[in-house]
Amino acid sequence: MVNLTLKFAACLRAIDMKVSTAEVLDCVNHLKLIDVIDEDLFKTVLKTNFAKSRRDHRTFDHAYDLFFHQMNSNIRLEDIKANENLVAANEIDILQKECVDQLAANLEMDQINQALINFLSGEPLTYMKMLRELQTKIEVARVINSNLGQLTERLQIMLKINAIRNLIPQFSGGNFDMPGSNKQKRLNQRLEERLDNAYQLLVKEPVPENESLNVVTRNQKRSQKLGDIPFANLSQTQIEEMRETIRQLVRKLNDIVTLRFASRNKGILDIKKTLRKSAKYHGLPLELKFRNKPLRKGKIVALCDVSSSVWSAARFMLNMLYSLQDCFSKVKSYIFVAQVADVTDFFDRYDTNDAVEKILNEADIEYNVLTDYGATLLDFKTNYMNVLDKKTTLIIIGDGRSNYLNPREHILQDMREKVRRIIWLTPEPEKFWRTGDSQIMTYKTYCHELRVCRNLNQLNEFIEELVI
Amino acid sequence: MYFKDIDDVEKRLESANYISSKEIAIIVFLATATEKPILIEGPAGVGKTELAKAIAASLNHELIRLQCYEGLDEAKALYEWEYAKQLLYTQMVKEKVQDVIKGAKTLSEAVEKIADQEDAFFTDRFILPRPLLQAISSKNPVVLLIDEVDKSDPEFEAFLLELLSDFQVTIPEIGTRKAETIPLVFLTSNNYRDMSDALKRRCLHLYIDYPERDAEMRIVRLKIPGIDETLLRRLIDTINNIRKLDLKKKPCISETLDWAKSLIALQAKDLTRDVVLNTLNVILKYRTDVDLAISNIDKVIAS
Ligand SMILES: Nc1ncnc2c1ncn2[C@@H]1O[C@H](COP(=O)(O)OP(=O)(O)OP(=O)(O)O)[C@@H](O)[C@H]1O
Ligand SMILES: [Mg+2]
């Protein structure tokens, strides 16, 4: 039982689930407490110990199925209980071993073939590790603006899977010399299924569950003159008007925040002040003075797409964020097309409105390139990852239209692990999310919140929830 | 020994008015048998808090609850010095101060003498225990519910981690307090943010989803005995259809119960189109959600 649990844990680690030794030990102890013959029970015990958030459930189920059903179709829970010797050697298993050994002898044993051979013998670990490495290796290699590298590597694996598939009939008859026998058919079928599994793993990674994602696509109607006009359609005079409206909204919000600050956030007793006051009452501390606690809204990091459709929304969001700066411990902002530029400095030097105008002309960034979210994420990861911390709310504002380039969504997962929350704002209504080169459906798995933000009402509702 | 076996968990929860699934029973059994905290995740209103309450009730343990929020700190979670009381006492014992400093020749000598007495003001008498200290200090075993831990700050989470691994706290002025009995700990989360790996490592994980059809019917029967079976079936099917809509907030079990109660109050014998239209606001809290349900009304009403 220990061995099996360890092996399974290794598989989970190979697909990037974080399983610690302590958890393996816990799990083994738990298995001793139950009747492992009941599969529901068995699986629940593994799951509660190894998949510690709902996000991991899909990946876990996938791995469980692969490990216990597809790979080790001959594991019987009775045997797990009885002894460590899981694989009761029957004829088929012997045939399988001979066949796989022969395959190995007839193939050029490079890394890919070795992994596939192990996979065929029911040891999926090396293959899974290889796929995982493929993902990260390509990321580091930085194949600019394309995912060609990744595609060629995947293609190679596919070709080798097919090569093995073609070889199987030659060797599956073993020394029985009975091609077409029942046993051979069963063995062929088993090996074919495994190759299918290997192929599936290659082309389809399980995506994390993200049910708790808060998707906001509709909002309460508010009667505001400019409230429902899409940012992108505003005329120059309306933009001026918009600034005034925003100024008012911001003032209102600031008032609410200050009020809350005064009434609710009584901090700890301020001894000095209390004693000073007590002088009035012959030294009796009748008036207790409390130290006001600063508001604890963490840091904001905003990452904005500057392509024109998005920028029309982003500019107003930045405007509001900076007008409400005092509500946060820090606001940092970045813009991107295919690289990232830090524009925080503009807001430190200029008035908010001027800063927004200047950014578009003066930021240190190449504008005449295709929008590339994957490259942007990679650039952010390489150069700015250290600005993220557990107090950070990362706001990404963009339509996720990435010209069919590699989305590199795994980087967003890395970012998610560093921050408190990721909120994605898109100016596109939901009905366009699945169209063309939009990657919103890919990225949304890694966000805590996804909102449509294309007019003032929506922006206002969002900012309100953020600061209050 | 808390529970004999998994069936025992299920039975005793039911007698505490909680309908558990097999999975819940298994995980509760393992957690209690090995004294590990359970981290419960799930949508709002599926009975996360209720589970901790029911466990406490079925074991006859006191339930101590800590509600988490942004900005929650040790002073609100663990203990606080009762400054007001301390100040009051200093005033009342003013005269005593004369006695204490009698015989002191210099000012600094007097200060020394007072300092020797300082400890008198940092004793249990002046401590205001908050839920975590209460849970640790209790002589009898307790169930500690740390509700909505995802709303707390990372610093607090780190502090919680220490507590969950040693079940002891150090109060600088007094010393270390070790738990007399290890509390059964339940943490709930709505996934507002991800919890740290370190915290997850210490807990068993339990995901509670919306209940299966049969389970939800049992819950309603339990809370509203005598409800008409046909009405109940249609009610549950309709609410499950409504849950499938793309809502801002899906109706949860308490809404199912509220709905059933209002239908009975209205003496509605059946779930007709009109009845549903008139009572949608009992189960849907947002105007936009009500609108969405109305525009799908014929699809959601179960036959
Ligand atoms: N399995 C159950 N058996 C009996 N009653 C239940 C069950 N599940 C939920 N309920 C009922 O549903 C109500 C809501 O449950 P509860 O408050 O525990 O939800 P919650 O998951 O803690 O929600 P939130 O995330 O909003 O805190 C409870 O008052 C209880 O009456
Ligand atoms: Mg609750």
Task: Tell me whether 0.95 is exceeded by the ipTM.
Answer: no
pLDDT tens column, A423-443 = 999 999 888 898 888 999 999
Residues of A in contact with B204 (CB under 8 A): 26, 48-49
The answer to the question of residue A65 being in a domain is yes
Sorting pLDDT into bands at 50, 70 and 90, what band is A75? low
Q: How many CB atoms lie within 10 A of CB B271?
A: 21
A&B contacts, CB < 8 Å: 99
Sorting pLDDT into bands at 50, 70 and 90, what band is A87? very low
Output phi, psi for A89, to 5 deg.
-70, 110
The answer to the question of residue A208 being in a domain is no
DSSP state of B212: P
Residues of A in contact with B200 (CB under 8 A): 52-53
Residue B35, both tokens? 């004294």
Contacts of A328 (CB under 8 A, 6+ apart): A297, A298, A299, A300, A321, A467
Interface contact B201-A211, CB threshold 8 A: no
SS3 track for chain A = CHHHHHHHHHHHHHCCCCCCHHHHHHHHHHHHHCCCCCHHHHHHHHHHHHCCCHHHHHHHHHHHHHHHHHHCCCCCHHHHHHCCCCCCCCHHHHHHHHHHHHHHHHCCCCHHHHHHHHHHCCCCHHHHHHHHHHHHHHHHHCCCCCCHHHHHHHHHHHHHHHHHHHHHHHHCCHHHCCCCCHHHHHHHHHHHHHHHHHHHHHHCCCCCCCCCCEEECCCCCCCCCCCCCCHHHCCHHHHHHHHHHHHHHHHHHHHHHHHHHHHHCEEEECHHHHHHHHHHHCCCCCCCCEEECCCCCCEEEEEEECCHHHHHHHHHHHHHHHHCHHHCCEEEEEEECCCEEECHHHHHHCCHHHHHHHHHHHCCCCCCCCCCHHHHHHHHHHHHHHHCCCCEEEEEECCCECCCCCCCHHHHHHHHHHCCEEEEEECCCHHHCCCCCECHHHHHHHCCEEEECCCHHHHHHHHHHHHC
Interface contact B205-A212, CB threshold 8 A: no
The answer to the question of residue A31 being in a domain is yes
Q: How many CB atoms lie within 10 A of CB A88?
A: 10
A79 & A141 share domain:
yes
A441 & A310 share domain:
yes
| Minimum-distance CB partner of B190 among A33, A212, A271 | A212
pLDDT tens column, A15-38 = 888 899 899 999 999 999 988 888
A21 & A88 share domain:
yes
Write out the residue range of the structural domain in which residue A278 sits. Answer: 266-296
Residues of A in contact with B190 (CB under 8 A): 212
Interface contact A51-B205, CB threshold 8 A: yes
* pLDDT over 90 at A294, yes or no: no
- Write down the pLDDT at residue A85: 46
Chain B, 210 to 269: residues with Cβ < 8 Å from chain A are: 248
Determine the distance in angstroms separating the CA of A285 from the nearest CA of chain B, rounded to an integer: 7
pLDDT tens column, B214-252 = 999 999 999 998 889 999 999 999 999 999 998 888 999
Determine the distance in angstroms separating the CA of B166 from the nearest CA of chain A, rounded to an integer: 16
Q: Is there a contact between B8 and B55 (Cβ–Cβ < 8 Å)?
A: no
The answer to the question of residue A138 being in a domain is yes
Q: Which helix (H) or strand (E) holds B171?
A: strand B168-171
pLDDT tens column, A224-283 = 677 778 887 788 888 888 888 888 888 887 777 776 655 445 566 666 677 777 766 766
The answer to the question of residue A56 being in a domain is yes
What mean pLDDT comes out for the span A313-336?
84
Domain end, chosen from A248, A278, A296, is at: A296
The answer to the question of residue A209 being in a domain is no
Distances from the Cα of A76 to the Cαs of A50, A81, A96, B90, in angstroms?
21, 9, 18, 73
Q: Is there a contact between A305 and A311 (Cβ–Cβ < 8 Å)?
A: yes
A290 & A357 share domain:
no
Q: By the CB < 8 Å criterion, does A260 face chain B?
A: no
Contacts of B62 (CB under 8 A, 6+ apart): B56, B138, B140, B142, B143
A360 & A405 share domain:
yes
* pLDDT over 50 at B77, yes or no: yes
- Write down the pLDDT at residue A1: 74
Residue A58, both tokens? 């899909």
A287 & A235 share domain:
no
Task: Give buried/exposed letters for A20-52 (b at 16+ CB in 10 A, else e).
Answer: eeebbebbbebbeebeeeeeebbbbbbbbbbbb
- Write down the pLDDT at residue A121: 85
A197 & A99 share domain:
yes
Can you tell me the distance from the alpha carbon of A212 to that of A392, in angstroms, rounded to the nearest whole number?
19
Atom of ligand 1 nearest to the CA of B148: 27
- Which residue has 């249990």 as its token pair? B124
Domain end, chosen from A173, A203, A233, is at: A203
Determine the distance in angstroms separating the CA of B231 from the nearest CA of chain A, rounded to an integer: 30
CATH code of the domain in which A379 resides: 3.40.50.410
Can you tell me the distance from the alpha carbon of B146 to that of B163, in angstroms, rounded to the nearest whole number?
12
pLDDT tens column, B144-183 = 999 999 999 888 998 898 888 888 888 877 788 888 889 9
* pLDDT over 80 at A71, yes or no: no
A400 & A416 share domain:
yes
A177 & A287 share domain:
no
DSSP state of B20: -
- Probe target for ligand 1 pocket from B13, B23, B46, with the most ligand atoms within 8 Å of CB: B46
The answer to the question of residue A79 being in a domain is yes
Interface contact A33-B205, CB threshold 8 A: no
- Write down the pLDDT at residue B191: 85
DSSP-derived 3-state class of residue B300: helix
**What pTM, to 2 d.p., does this model score?**
0.80
- Give me the residues paired with residue B81 across strands: B127
Can you tell me the distance from the alpha carbon of A62 to that of A401, in angstroms, rounded to the nearest whole number?
30
Q: Is there a contact between A202 and A154 (Cβ–Cβ < 8 Å)?
A: yes
Which range of A99-103, A243-247, A329-333, A444-448 scores highest in mean pLDDT? It is A444-448
User: Domain tally for chain A?
Assistant: 3
- Write down the pLDDT at residue A264: 47
pLDDT: is B254 or A203 the higher one?
A: B254
Ligand index nearest the alpha carbon of residue B189: 1
**Residue B183 beta carbon below 6 angstroms from any ligand 1 atom:** no
A289 & A381 share domain:
no
% pLDDT > 90, chain A: 22
A75 & A40 share domain:
yes
The answer to the question of residue A100 being in a domain is yes
DSSP-derived 3-state class of residue B265: helix
Can you tell me the distance from the alpha carbon of A96 to that of A71, in angstroms, rounded to the nearest whole number?
13
Domain end, chosen from A203, A225, A252, is at: A203
Interface contact B207-A34, CB threshold 8 A: no
In whole angstroms, what separates CA A95 from the centre of its chain? 43
- Write down the pLDDT at residue B46: 92
Interface contact B207-A293, CB threshold 8 A: no
Q: Which of A233-242, B50-59, B82-91 shows the lowest per-residue confidence on average (mean pLDDT)?
A: B82-91
A58 & A36 share domain:
yes
- Write down the pLDDT at residue A88: 46
What residue's CA is closest to ligand 1, atom 20? B45
